[in-house]
């Protein structure tokens, strides 16, 4: 089974780079891209991806607990991976129930390992130190 994902980031270059990395390195299938919260909610409700990569600073994402709950209601069972440039945002995302948190400054190999683990296509112990938040 191919894992599908949606990327939600207001930076088109980030969306493109992440999509390329996940499709080529992990064989995941991109279901869609969103630049703001309304577009993300609509995509999730219509496409039911397995995974959402969510920029914690996404425009319109002002109430994280409510926004995560509505995202999960629109797409039950979706795994939410938060991407952020700010370490304090990563802590907030963890507290709000994100399935995983990744700093955007993380090396591509680390990002790939985290997402591969969530998608079920890699060993549980990647060969480098990463911060992993597991909510299985």
Q: Is residue 104 part of a domain?
A: yes
**C-alpha span between 53 and 83 (Å, rounded):** 7
Total domains present in the chain: 1
Q: Is residue 71 part of a domain?
A: yes
pTM value > 0.85:
no
**CB hemisphere CA count around 36 (13 angstroms):** 3
Q: Is residue 126 part of a domain?
A: no
Element housing 99 (H / E) = none
In this prediction, residue 2 carries a pLDDT of: 59
pLDDT tens digits, one per residue of 7-44: 999 999 999 988 998 888 888 899 999 999 899 989 99
Extended beta strands in the chain, E state: 4-8, 29-34, 51-55, 79-84, 100-103
43: domain CATH number is 3.40.50.2300
């Amino acid at each position: 089974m191919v894992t599908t994902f949606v990327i939600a980031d207001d930076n088109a270059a980030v969306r493109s780079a992440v999509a390329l990395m996940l499709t080529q390195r992990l064989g995941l299938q991109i279901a869609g891209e969103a630049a703001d919260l309304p577009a993300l909610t609509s995509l999730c409700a219509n496409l039911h991806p397995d995974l959402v990569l969510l920029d914690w600073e996404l425009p319109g994402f002002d109430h994280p607990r409510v926004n995560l709950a509505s995202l999960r209601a629109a797409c039950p069972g979706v795994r939410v991976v938060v991407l952020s440039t700010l370490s304090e945002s990563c802590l907030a995302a963890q507290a709000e129930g994100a399935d995983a948190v990744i700093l955007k400054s993380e090396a591509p190999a680390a990002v790939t390992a985290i997402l591969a683990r969530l998608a079920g296509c890699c060993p549980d112990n990647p060969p480098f130190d990463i911060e992993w938040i597991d909510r299985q």
